[in-house]
Structure 1
Amino acid sequence: MKITILGRGRVGGGLATALTRAGHDVTAPDRSAVADAARSAQIVINATPGAGSLDRLTALRDALRGTILVDVSNATVDGPDGLPAALLYPGSSLAEQLQQALPETRVVKTLNTMLYSVMTAPTVLTQAPTVFLSGDAPPAKQIVAGILADLGWHREWITDLGGIETARATEAAILFVPPVIRSSGFAPFAISIAR
């Protein structure tokens, strides 16, 4: 698939490398070429810092029309140590805000409940992790599930939570990150649903 990744940091760079290795046609444009790259993509992945994502992506409304927008960001207010301390959209979520602002784009929330390195290497963990899907368009979620499989996620590890409003739950999980890092260090981890 033709995939454009917005964000060239650790998250975006890791996803670009892994998806290219899986055979996808991946573009990670600089800011001057974002609109053209988004317009020509089947899937756009938002790996930009969550606090600025809504403004950044709303400005791309026309370019994103008809695409699937995979949102992997968390919109938080950082504490003095630079780690997430509160949610930017309490009572809502970045994914819901994006879907409301981009009604002609199919927003799917995923990959936001783990340390960035696990996104593209889930099998490094000692137990099976869970990755969640939230979105209002089931066909878009099926396509994104296929992308997750290309990243190494087993089908039984993927849980579809339902509509875009369920992203509130997964985005709130970011508040686990600071205490986990403080207690265990900066080691790979993810949420896992045990049944």
Structure 2
Amino acid sequence: MTTISVLGRGRVGGALADALTRAGHEVTTAGSAPGAAAAAVRNARVVVNATPGDSSLERLTALRDDLRDTILVDVSNATLDDADGLPGDLLYPGSSLAERLQEALPRTRVVKTLNTMLYPVMTAPAMLTGTPSVFLSGEDPEAKRTVRDLLADLGWQKEWITDLGGIRTARATEAAILFVPHLIRTRGFTPFALSVTV
């Protein structure tokens, strides 16, 4: 059992919190209030960032002391929205939210994952007819092993998980969000994930 705090009570945060609780972990959640977020992360071994990506850096930097020595699982994408509310561009071109978080939180071990799919697939990858892929980006091998175990608890098979390397590789997976609005406009909110086939 791992002590986990999920920041963000929207569809993504709620689904992850419910699934991790069902898997036997001790899970707390917090919304946007700074005091509640600080209390939620203070005793957590793992913190999941499911806050809106355009404000994640500011929110989490304010929790720097509370996040010290924890594993931060970043599932958010930092984007600028088009007129229809769907992602239109990256907020940090030439970088990534995960990189910005790691720079701002040097004592926190940031791992980027679960950001290349529609949210229902995060906690139920077997719902897809094909074989989905999920990616890991981060500097700390032990942190990535912990996240691999959590992914397994969410139903991700070992062979579906690809470690891309250091935190800089999150630029690639975060850029994949730019596919999403076009897929949604053509297919609707049908669950999907990227898939690497060899």
TM-score by length of 1: 0.99
Give the corresponding residue for 1:21.
Answer: 22
Q: How many residues get paired?
A: 195
Show the 5 A alignment for 1:144-183.
144-183=147-186
Give the AA of the match of 1:16.
A
* Counterparts of 1:2 and 1:29, CA distance in 2: 14
- Unaligned segments of structure 1, at least 5 residues: none
Give the corresponding residue for 1:3.
Answer: 4
Give the AA of the match of 1:47.
A
State percent identity of aligned pairs: 70
Give the corresponding residue for 1:115.
Answer: 118
Identify the match of residue 50 of structure 1 among 49, 53, 56. 53
Superposed displacement of residue 179, structure 1: 0.6
Superposed displacement of residue 33, structure 1: 1.7
Superposed displacement of residue 29, structure 1: 2.3
Identify the match of residue 143 of structure 1 among 124, 140, 146. 146
The SS at the match of 1:98 is: helix
TM-score by length of 2: 0.98
The SS at the match of 2:69 is: coil
- Runs of 4+ in structure 1 off by over 3 angstroms are none
Q: Deviations over 1:37-60 (max 9, x none)?
A: 211000000000000000000000
Superposed displacement of residue 120, structure 1: 0.2
* Counterparts of 2:30 and 2:165, CA distance in 1: 31
The SS at the match of 2:129 is: coil
* Counterparts of 1:143 and 1:185, CA distance in 2: 34
- CA RMSD in angstroms, aligned pairs only: 0.6
